[in-house]
Amino acid sequence: MNKEQLYQYLLLLGDNSMILGQRLGELCGHGPELETDIALTNISLDLFGQVRNYFQYAAELQGEEKTEDDVAMLRYEHQYRNTLLVEQPNTDFAYVVARQFLFDVYHQLLLNELANSTDERINAIAKKSIKEVDYHVDFSSAWLTRLGDGTEVSHEKMQLAFNNTWRFAMELFQETDIERIAKESGVGADLNKMKTAYLSKVKATLAEANLSINLDEVQQFGGKQGRHTEYMGFILAEFQYMQRAYPQMKW
């Protein structure tokens, strides 16, 4: 891969975690209970820590004294490469759990693939992050099962939330040209191979949670190509405010 291709691949790796981290940050102080509130905040911090590692690398590739903040905050909406799944709003706790579970299972598989990357920096980031994401999977899987196999009300809410988020899940495995090049060069993950393991894990957890899945659900795509939902602009308005209002500010 050349530098520009590697830079674009790092955006694909980092943007999902960054936007999901921002969504989870919105829940700080608003969780259903104190322990869960703290857990969601810590997951957000884990994701941002991983993003920093990716974007420090991306900034070095750009040169011109660019920083991780430039990469994270000073792009336009169409330049972000996150999937539509992570943009979805915190409608209620069931939606938070469904979105988190669908991303976490993918993220765990992704990092295990990237732990074999021929790129030493990506390899190291993945190995450092795997333990964190293993916990994320345990957290979201446990809540999915608890709500799905709980009361009649919690089951209905969890099923509805899953139905409304599932249609964004397969974009995670839509291979872009950059991801294909990364895979063929040994730098990136094989999304097609991951998809089989992903569906197996999702179906097994749903069975335990007494939830159903419609594999024929029409899927929605576009985020990886910079075509986002109506929610993305609002996320960026808050996320980018300080850097846009006070250019080149330093903490």
Cα gap 69→249, rounded to integer Å: 10
The 8-class DSSP code of residue 218 comes to P
List, for residues 15-73, the tens digit of each pLDDT value. Answer: 999 999 999 999 988 888 888 989 999 999 999 999 999 999 999 999 888 899 999 99
Domains of the chain and any CATH numbers: 3-212+220-245 (1.20.1260.10)
With tokens 């799905």, the residue in question is 148
Q: What is the pLDDT of residue 4?
A: 96
Q: Dmax over Cα atoms in the chain, in whole Å?
A: 57
Whether the model clears a pTM of 0.85, i.e. scores above it, the answer is yes
Q: What is the pLDDT of residue 111?
A: 98
Residue 236, SS3? helix
* Spatial CB neighbours of 142, under 8 Å, sequence gap ≥ 6: none
Nearest Cα neighbor of 193 from 185, 203, 202, 183 is 183
Q: What is the pLDDT of residue 64?
A: 83
Taking a C-beta distance cutoff of 8 angstroms, is the pair 81, 171 a contact?
A: no
Percent of the chain with pLDDT over 90: 88
Q: What is the pLDDT of residue 120?
A: 97
Cα gap 212→168, rounded to integer Å: 16
Q: What is the pLDDT of residue 29?
A: 86
The low-confidence residues of the chain, meaning pLDDT below 50, are none
